[in-house]
Amino acid sequence: MTGKQSSARASYEDFYRSHSPRVIAHLLYLGFPRHIADDATQSAMVDVHRNWHKIGKPHLWARKAAEHHAGRVWRKTRNEVPWPDAYDRPVAEDPEIAYVVERHSRLVSLVNELPESLKTVFALHLDDFGTKEISEYTGVSVRVVQKRLKQARELLQSRFVGDGRWEGNR
């Protein structure tokens, strides 16, 4: 391995470590099941590695690729895999991921419940993306992004109880 290749590999590894959890979270916010979100992120990261030198913005590219993979798997399997049942989980699912998602299920379900047009915008906003980047990702104007963010915020605020707490996940 040459010096250039090894530095590219190191920068890809840094990218993977910092971004793969955020891509998994992004897919979960969009409503994909846990095991699909996990697998699609891995596939997207392999694609990122393959195209590492060609991609200008890997953080956006990885999310787009992951959405593509997850959508494809979801369309194939949506009629086969039932809603996750604690007594009969899909074998491929990582139990640690399942536990984490269950612990943060309130946040995930709140974003899931947003209308489709607001979900992606707000998921990216949560992940510290600016309105310009969100506009580039979604293909709508900055003004529309700002409007959608405002709508999403209003919807979420209506579910907010106060004192930094949501109504509990009983």
Binding positions for other proteins, rule: CB under 8 A: 9, 12-13, 16-17, 20-22, 24-25, 42, 45-47, 49-50, 82-83, 85-87, 94, 96-97, 99-100, 102-109, 125-128, 153, 156-157, 160, 164, 167-170
Minimum distance of other proteins from residue 169's CB (angstroms): 4
Q: CB-wise, 27 or 139, nearer to other proteins?
A: 27
Q: CB-wise, 82 or 115, nearer to other proteins?
A: 82
Minimum distance of other proteins from residue 57's CB (angstroms): 19
Minimum distance of other proteins from residue 136's CB (angstroms): 20
Contact 142, 131 (CB under 8 A): yes
Q: CB-wise, 30 or 45, nearer to other proteins?
A: 45
Q: CB-wise, 2 or 139, nearer to other proteins?
A: 2
Contact 47, 64 (CB under 8 A): no
Minimum distance of other proteins from residue 83's CB (angstroms): 6
Helix (H), strand (E) at residue 25: helix 3-29
32: number of Cβ within 10 Å: 24
User: For residue 165, which phi and psi values (nearest 5 degrees)?
Assistant: -125, 150
- The residues near 58 (Cβ < 8 Å, ≥ 6 apart) are 15, 19, 48, 52
Question: In this structure, what token pair is assigned to residue 168?
Answer: 């509990």
